[in-house]
Each structure stands twice: as C-alpha cells, then as structure tokens.
Amino acid sequence: MNSTKQAKLAGLAYFLGFIACIPLANWMIGNVGAVCVPQGPCLVPVWPWGPDGKPLMAPSGVLMIGLALVLRDLVQRRLGRGVAVGAVVAGAALSGAVAPPQLLIASATAFLLSELADFAVYTPLQSRGLVLAVLASGVVGLIADSVLFLWLAFGSFEYLAGQILGKLWMVLLALPFIHWIRKRELST
C-alpha cells in the first residue's frame, strides 16, 4: 500500500475516532465514574489532592473531549483543513444531538468554539513541530471548552480545575503517540 493511501486511511481512522468521542463523552458523563452526583455528572478523580484534601474530581466525559482535541489535529494533518473544519461542525451538531436536553446548548457551543480555537492554534504551529502544535492547540482548546461548557451549562466554575486537568491528561498521554507518528513520517 502506498504512503498516500496509508495517510488517507489513517485520516479516516482519526476522523471516526474524533466523531466517536462525542457520543462517548456524553454517555460517560451520565454513566461512568467513581461517584455519580444525583441529577448531576458522574465524576472521576484526575488528581490525588484537591483544595479540600480529597481527590480532585471532574465529569468523566472530559477524558473523551481531551482525546477529541488531539484527534482533530490528526484529522487536519491527514485529510486537510477543510475536512477538519467539516468534522468540527459535524461534531458540534452531533454533540447537540446526543447531549441531554439541559446541556444541548452548552455542549454544542463549547465543542464548536473550543475545536475552532484548537484549529486556530494548531494550523500555524504545525509546520514548526507536530508535538508542539498538538500540545499548544490542545491546551487552548481544553481551557476554552472547560470555561464555556461549565459557564453555559451550570453558570459555575466548580469543576474547572478538574475539567482542565482531566483533558490535559489525555492530551499529555497522546503526545508519545504523536511523537511516534512524526518520527515514522520522517523515516519514510
């Protein structure tokens, strides 16, 4: 199989993974966690110590949203800017479609704006280094997503530190894979 075909297949896999993150995040927030708050999100620990001495918690869906930020960058790398923007718009629509009714606006808006912020940072940086571009765009995207989602959904920043840290863990865990991709590209 030639390298162009492999790149397109990889891009398709990244695209499908990106799209899958959205319903999975929405499902996790209501079904997966160490603790599920009545009429609220299911939470996972993202750091052993919070301000109250207990583990810092975040809604479980943050894990998939952190991964989605990385996958969006990889979609753009393999399939181009147009497909990446189309994936963001489709993802925002899907986010609104699968979010619980009370979170529809917050979920779709936060997803759309944070992924576009990720796009705006990743695009100029990608030529200067893939790992740097993914890290920088991921950080901008995860902060935007966390602030927008919490404010629009709950009018509160109660879980902000946990949201940011949970998404950051996913971006950081993806960086060795991103480095491997870049190293593999250079060797072919």
Mean pLDDT of 100-124: 90
Q: What is the CATH number of the domain that holds 155?
A: 1.10.1760
Mean pLDDT of 15-29: 91
Please report the pLDDT score of residue 104 as a whole number.
83
Supply the range of the domain harboring residue 123.
3-187
Note the pTM of the prediction, 2 decimals. 0.91
DSSP the chain: --HHHHHHHHHHHHHHHHHHHHHHHHHHHHH-SSEE-TTS-EEEEEES--TTSSPEEEETTHHHHHHHHHHHHHHHHHH-HHHHHHHHHHHHHHHHHHS-GGGHHHHHHHHHHHHHHHHHHHHHHGGG-HHHHHHHHHHHHHHHHHHHHHHHHHS--TTHHHHHHHHHHHHHHHHHHHHHHHHHHHH-
Number of domains in the chain: 1
Please report the pLDDT score of residue 178 as a whole number.
95
Please report the pLDDT score of residue 145 as a whole number.
95
